[in-house]
Amino acid sequence: MILIDSVEKQQIKLLAKTLRIPSFTKYDSILRQNDSTLTYEKLILLLMKQELAAREINRHTRLMRAAKFPYVKTLSEYDNTRLHHIQPAYVNELSGCDYISKRENIIMLGNPGSGKTHLSIALGIKACEAGYHVKFMTAARLVNEMTEAKDSRNLLKLERALTKVDLLIIDELSYVRFNRAQSELLFQIISERSERGSIITSSNLEFSKWVDLFENEMMLSALIDRLTFKSHILNLNTKDNLGRSSLKTK
């Protein structure tokens, strides 16, 4: 009898692996945790709930890994006293991810140290928790990867990969000046996502100063038009920078 039980257990493990339901191998622990009146239906239901919970955890882990956040930051860790131009409730509303289903953008503008990267990551993590595919990249890294992909004739493959993500986060659009070729690549990816997928981007510079980053002013104007269309513009300038800010919170 012991031998038969052992063979049956091995078969259960094998079938669970083949059917990709690994939680079903833990049936014995569920039996031990419940009384002897546990029905077959109750056992199956508990196993199915356990499998569903495990899949949700695994899915979230995969989405977080694929997003490539530089570190983990949450909304609860953000210091709301930094917010002088928007209400914390507005940020919490954005964390519900409706803007992603509506294919809207978020633009964060503010001086260094205002928490733009923190909020970008926190909203990105919320999107992962909601089951959305997210990709986090600095503007410099995005342009470098696109340039390398173009040189190796893999640009189309990279563009398709970026198009598939629900939320593309472009951080630090302010520290690097882009030449004409780089500007065209950045414009291309932003244009392709227009009304197809959401973007979160952040910059230390207000729009009027973006001319310092791009050689082609006409292309810059079109790029800003695409970013700001159906967008939430967050003025994150801190108190000590109020005099230099002319932005309005949407």
Q: pLDDT tens digits, residue range 5-37?
A: 677 778 877 877 887 888 778 777 777 777 667
Residue 55, classified by CB atoms within 10 Å of its CB into exposed (0-12), middle (13-18) or buried (19+), is middle
Alpha-carbon distance 57 to 145, whole Å? 30
Structure confidence at residue 53 (pLDDT): 87
- DSSP H helices in 152-197: 155-164, 180-193
Q: What angle do CA 110, 141, 159 make, to 5 degrees?
A: 110
Name the token pair of 185. 């690549």
105 touches 123 (CB < 8 A): no
Alpha-carbon distance 63 to 59, whole Å? 6
Model pLDDT for residues 215-227, shown as the tens digit of each residue? 888 888 899 999 9
pTM of structure: 0.83
* Cα Rg, the chain, nearest whole Å: 24
Structure confidence at residue 2 (pLDDT): 43
Alpha-carbon distance 250 to 127, whole Å? 21
pLDDT greater than 50 at residue 202: yes
Nearest to residue 229, comparing CAs of 102, 115, 39? 102
236 touches 108 (CB < 8 A): yes
Q: How confident is the model at residue 120 (pLDDT cuts 50, 70, 90)?
A: very high
Fold (topology level) of 68-244: Rossmann fold (3.40.50)
Only one residue has tokens 């986090």, namely 136
Q: Which residues of 41-51 are buried (b: 16+ CB within 10 A; e: fewer)?
A: eeeeebbeebb
Q: What are the sequence ranges of the domains in the chain?
A: 2-64, 68-244
